[in-house]
Structure 1
Amino acid sequence: MTQPWSPDILGEGFEQQTLTLDGGAVATLVRYLGTAPEWPEAVDGIPDPAGIDADVLYVHGWSDYFFQRHVAEFWHRAGARFYALDLHNYGRSLGPGLVPGFVTNLADYDADIAAALSAMGRSGDAGQDRPLILLGHSTGGLTLSLWASRHPGIASALILNSPWLEFQATELGRRAIAPLVGLHARLHPLAPLPPVDPGIYTRAVSATLDGEWDYNLEWRPDRGFPITPAFLDAVFRGQATVAAGLGIDVPVLVLLSDKSYLQPKWSADALTADVALNVDAVAHRSLSLADTVTVSRLPNAFHDIFLSPEPVRRLAFERIGRWLPMALQPSNAEVWEARTAGL
């Protein structure tokens, strides 16, 4: 059961809708109705291709929620309808008494995504809806990758913003500690693990420190939510599934920084790198997602590409704009399949 749309905390142009899931959990869908004008049909005399007539569904990462107004404005100006989902136990969906980010299996978010697609007015039948572009950040990128693999024929393109596809200590490290994490998840699912976030990322992005972004510190704490065995086990099992190969049936674009900074102490290097992921390990693991994967490395990008300094995020939007028209043109593949038949 869903509630009516109501004004969202992001202000003008944004609305939210509460999605009631089985068992009483809730997720929250945000939509952008659009106050930013769409881009003109030509720029400096160069004709612009047709607008992106698609639905975009964004899913946030760990210890996070949707607050990136400029991302919604980009998609609206490109001609798309933009939606963002605060998963259950996150952000707008995080109520009193709930364990932030608690999950035992990333497939548990299937209900959130199904409710969101229904609220977006999508029938769920392949070929009956506008193209669906899935956009996921970090753990949200892992979640959407697994979802797309389990639900072929629904999405048209998958864009991953620094997806957490592999453990920072690489596959060997994950495989070494996964059994112990799994045992703790069964015996003590909510026991907090040692903190791993020293607050370096917050210092890089928060307007209260060295960054430029304002957000709700209860929904996105300085040092993140406490990590539990249940959550880490769910992530490890998802990453193992990716490593085995997903076979996603749509084109995939993976946006990553060109380097990582994974040290426990602050350094100015944190302002030009991903401080959460081993980006080289993720770049390699990205090739396990699908037959058609584009990995785009962005110099000096942050973990959330769209929270990077303006020149970096402008480059990211530019690369999305160049990649997407090709990804959304299945007729081209049909033409070339016919041309090359029998060769």
Structure 2
Amino acid sequence: MTELRWEQDVLGPGYESTVLDVGRDGAEHEIATLVRHFPESQPALPHQAVLFIHGWSDYFFNTELAEFFTELGVAFYALDLHNHGRSLRDHSVGGFVADLEDYDTELSKALKVVVEDLHEHYGRSDQSPQVALMGHSTGGLVAALWTSRFPETVSHLILNSPWLEMHGSSFVRYGMYSMVEPLARWWPQSRIKAPERNFYWRSISSHAEGEWDLDDRLRPPLAFPMRWGWMSAILAGQAQVARGLDIPVPILVMMSARSLNGPRWREGMRSADAVLDIQTMAARAITLGQSVSIEKIDGGLHDVLLSERPVREEAYARLRRWLQGYMLVPDPRDEKNGSAG
């Protein structure tokens, strides 16, 4: 891998980013962007990190999330996928991907960078770094599929409102696929004519009813236009989830306690998932793997960690509890060296 050039990120001091060449066939102009944030002091468990994947039409901006992990001594990384956020270029088709496995190259490169970065930052040891993968919404679907195929690269899986199934039931997905697939095959980048709503953006943006300072150039209020090829990729990924992933690593799934969808803005959308169906999400989540914990957060938004402060404080408390039980523990290999116990 060529030497990377880290520069101060748009998030300011303490945050750096670097560009990764996607490098797939026919994708010579596509890039991904990796952001990093380290603990301020040498942590007790220095070879642990989390790699975060944002949702569709999104980018990484939640410094509170990054600092939650680094205060626990866990190095934090976030990946802006190609055609998203920091990785958008003039020629980009915003948010487009024809197959979710098209993200494999950038995920593989990002995970290799994280491991090498931890060795360089903290010094090499006989302890292999543990890297947890964390994904939100579509990023949660991508993270789950990656972990099922490459479990040796991931120590833990944390999902924040993952898009594991369509609204209602799998029958909705079956019906959509039969309509979408022929159009995706012939016109993959053609736009799907569908209502454009800004309800989720409205619930989180400080320019509306939310409290988060979003860059509308990196995360458009109406989201990217949906395209047939992209929808086909989502449906195919959800079909894989439905067939069973049998993920061996510990999994945490966080979600709102209720959904609230509809064609018009309602005040209740400030305290519910206004994007996905939490019932189908929960049903699919429980079948993801061998060790699955589900946390339903009362009053949570689609991204529960962007909810109003009392709600997200509860979400972070539950996340910390899970981490303390599954991740923030000494490596058993240290016992033979007398450093544990």
Q: 2:152 aligns to what SS in structure 1?
A: coil
Give the superposed CA RMSD. Answer: 2.1
Indicate how the Cα distance of structure 1 residues 270 and 142 shifts in structure 2: closer, same or farther if over 3 A, else same: same
In 2, Cα distance between equivalents of 1:73 and 1:330: 21
Corresponding residue for residue 319 of structure 1? 318
Corresponding residue for residue 46 of structure 1? none
Q: Which of 55, 62, 65 does residue 59 from structure 2 map onto?
A: 65
Corresponding residue for residue 147 of structure 2? 148
String of CA shifts for 1:150-183, please: whole Å, max 9, x gaps.
0022211100000000112321101111121111
- TM-score, reference length from structure 2: 0.89
- The question of 1:129 aligning with 2:128 is answered yes
Corresponding residue for residue 10 of structure 1? 11
Instruction: Give the AA of the match of 1:268.
Output: E
Q: CA deviation at 1:113?
A: 0.7
**Counterparts of 1:106-117 in structure 2 under 5 Å?**
106-117=100-111
Q: Which runs of 5+ in 2 are unaligned?
A: 118-125, 333-341
Q: 1:121 aligns to what SS in structure 2?
A: helix
Q: CA deviation at 1:121?
A: 3.2
- The question of 1:184 aligning with 2:183 is answered yes
Mean CA deviation greater in 164-173 or 133-142: 164-173
Alpha-carbon contact 2:45-2:330 (below 8 Å) kept: no
Indicate how the Cα distance of structure 1 residues 197 and 128 shifts in structure 2: closer, same or farther if over 3 A, else same: farther
Q: 1:211 aligns to what SS in structure 2?
A: coil
How many residues align structurally?
A: 319
Instruction: Give the AA of the match of 2:228.
Output: P
Instruction: Give the AA of the match of 1:257.
Output: S
Q: CA deviation at 1:21?
A: 2.0
Alpha-carbon contact 2:183-2:228 (below 8 Å) kept: yes
Corresponding residue for residue 76 of structure 1? 70
Indicate how the Cα distance of structure 1 residues 214 and 195 shifts in structure 2: closer, same or farther if over 3 A, else same: farther
Mean CA deviation greater in 140-149 or 320-329: 320-329
In 1, Cα distance between equivalents of 2:42 and 2:216: 32
Corresponding residue for residue 241 of structure 1? 240
Q: Which of 103, 108, 118 does residue 112 from structure 2 map onto?
A: 118
String of CA shifts for 1:88-108, please: whole Å, max 9, x gaps.
111111101110111111111
Instruction: Give the AA of the match of 2:34.
Output: L
Corresponding residue for residue 283 of structure 2? 284
Q: 1:186 aligns to what SS in structure 2?
A: helix
Alpha-carbon contact 2:246-2:289 (below 8 Å) kept: yes
Indicate how the Cα distance of structure 1 residues 71 and 218 shifts in structure 2: closer, same or farther if over 3 A, else same: same
Q: Which of 78, 85, 92 does residue 98 from structure 1 map onto?
A: 92
Mean CA deviation greater in 166-175 or 86-95: 166-175
Q: Percent of counterpart pairs with the same letter?
A: 40
Instruction: Give the AA of the match of 1:271.
Output: R
Q: Which runs of 5+ in 1 are unaligned?
A: 40-49, 333-343
